[in-house]
Amino acid sequence: MQKCSSNVIDKCIEFGAPENVKLIVDELINCERLNNLIMNSYGNFVLVNSLKFAQDEQRELLIAQIEKHLPSISDLKLKQKWAVVIKKVRTGQSIKDIRF
């Protein structure tokens, strides 16, 4: 994923109509290359922002998909950051300060 394209998707998620945001998050939930997004700095940005704006049910589905890929991540720091993000989301804490 490239910086410009991640910015476009981010703005669509942040400012889009709820039905459009739902479509984007559904695409992420069903993405065959989610592992690539998890390990990419721009992909991380999109995924974290998706978690911020997704509806509750979608948020849990996206978290479940991310958790499926965590064991395959070899970068320990990245794996720990995702664990923190997931814990914060599940406990209702803010993730706006998360940086990858």
Q: What pLDDT, in 10s, does the model give residues 37-91? A: 999 989 999 999 999 999 999 999 999 999 999 999 999 999 999 999 999 999 9
Predicted structure pTM score: 0.89
Could you tell me the residue range of the domain that residue 28 belongs to? 3-90
> What pLDDT does 76 receive?
94
> What pLDDT does 1 receive?
62
pLDDT above 80 (res 96): no
Say if residues 65 and 47 touch (Cβ distance below 8 Å): no
pLDDT above 90 (res 4): no
86 domain-assigned: yes
Q: Which residues of 66-91 are buried (b: 16+ CB within 10 A; e: fewer)?
A: beebeeebeeeebbebbeebbebbee
36 domain-assigned: yes
**Cα 99 from Cα 41, distance rounded (Å):** 9
**Cα 94 from Cα 75, distance rounded (Å):** 24
AA letter at 31: C
98 domain-assigned: no
Average pLDDT over residues 24-37: 95
Count of structural domains within the chain: 1
pLDDT above 90 (res 35): yes
